[in-house]
Copies of this chain bind each other. A is one copy, B any other.
Amino acid sequence: MGEEEAAPRSGTGAAIRAATARIADPEQRVLARIAEMRKRKPSLRESTITMSHGAGGKSSHTLVTALFADVLSNPLLDQLGDNAQLTVPGLDGARLAMSTDSFVVSPLFFPGGDIGELAVNGTVNDLAVGGAQPLCLSAAFILEEGLDIGLLRRVVESMRAAADRAGVSVVTGDTKVVPRGKADQLFITTTGVGLVREPQRLGFGRIRPGDVVLLNGAIGDHGSTVMLARGDVDLEAESLRSDTQPLWRLVSTLLDAGIDVHFMRDATRGGVATVLNEIAQQAGLAVAIDEDSLPVHDQVRGVAEILGIEPLYIANEGVLVAIVAKGDAERALELMRSLPEGAEAARIGEVREEPEGMVFIRTGFGGTRVVDMLIGDPLPRIC
């Protein structure tokens, strides 16, 4: 069956070389070729699922585009947002947002959180970054036979606390049990429904050259914490904790204050680098960020160094990227910093006209390099 997924690729390279041959400057020519490659519809070249397909980076994107979105295609799904926004017939043009996520994190408990808290905050945040006030959640549990019921109760209590904090209720659910060895203790899928107040306010299409890129907090805490909790990294970092937290209060504070926010997304799997690449590609613009401006805790730098991965690619569970009109950037930063979940907010770069679809980082040494989407899965099962 594998072959039918692989679109014919022969001649693609030649076609791209022909299309870009007229560009005289070698560096510009390479950039143009990368941009051309990116415009092609991705095709699945593997015949089986690998861990990379779940990492939120390039392989995940290909799987979603070439399989799920291809087969299930409809105007809402095709937007490939973190949430879908739909108009309900007969409801006066009001728009609802819907978002779903499965949580398979290992271990189930880690410093600063657990799978239950993640399952609530993750879905609440996917709604929030779309400008949707979370209304309610559903929760579906897949339990492995033999799971300790006391442990399950701790997870559910943690969901309750997280839901209370985020101001939502779990209104419906489901439980399935599979035999020992057919799942890994406990998987949770939450789905959220939210109310979009101003449907036209946020979107890739609103991003403009000159916009400022903001983060509400330090990056990489969640992914680093889970790796340490799993014992994969031989490092003592007792104060490192997951950043899992609900973001609706921070988002609504910006929106209510009239900040001209153009786009937001929470930087979970694939990290900030992957979100910035999605922004650059979907908006057809470039993003330039400053390495020195990135808020990163020392312990995360340590973990990242040992793993040989940049903090920009490490998952977060309480960090969002906000693209804000230049004139409102300072006020947005102040508003973020007035809240605990935005205490370490930072301005990390800006949106540019070109080269289309690319993300650049200016290093501390004065150099510049391309930041691509996450490739492979160096940090599996962090959410």
Q: A218: which B residues are within 8 A, CB to CB?
A: none
Q: Is A200 an interface residue (CB 8 A)?
A: no
B181 near A183 with CB under 8 A, answer no
Closest residue of chain B to A99, judged by CB?
A: B172
The oligomer's copy count stands at 2
Q: When each residue 62-78 of chain A gets 1 if its CB lies under 8 Å from chain B and 0 otherwise, what string results?
A: 01100110011010110
CB-based contact B193/A193 at 8 Å:
yes
Contact B5 A81 (CB under 8 A): no
Measured CA separation A139–B156 after assembly (Å): 22
Determine the residue in chain B with the shortest Cβ distance to A150.
B1
**A348 / chain B contacts, CB cutoff of 8 Å:** none
- The answer to whether A144 has its CB under 8 Å from any CB of chain B is yes
Q: Which of A43-51, A250-258, A307-315 contacts B (4 or more CB under 8 A)?
A: A43-51
Q: Is the CB of A179 within 8 A of B84?
A: no
Residues of the B chain whose Cβ atoms lie less than 8 Å from the Cβ of A82: 172
Chain A residues near B (Cβ < 8 Å): 1-2, 4-5, 44, 46-55, 60, 63-64, 67-68, 71-72, 74, 76-77, 81-84, 86, 88-92, 94, 96, 98-104, 135-136, 138-154, 156-157, 159-160, 163, 169-179, 181-184, 187, 189, 191, 193, 195, 377, 380-381, 383
List 28 A–B pairs whose Cβ atoms lie within 8 Å, in order of A's numbering: A1-B148, A1-B154, A2-B150, A47-B148, A49-B143, A49-B144, A51-B179, A71-B159, A72-B163, A76-B172, A88-B94, A88-B195, A89-B195, A98-B138, A99-B138, A100-B140, A100-B172, A100-B191, A101-B140, A102-B140, A102-B141, A103-B176, A104-B182, A142-B142, A174-B189, A177-B380, A187-B187, A189-B191
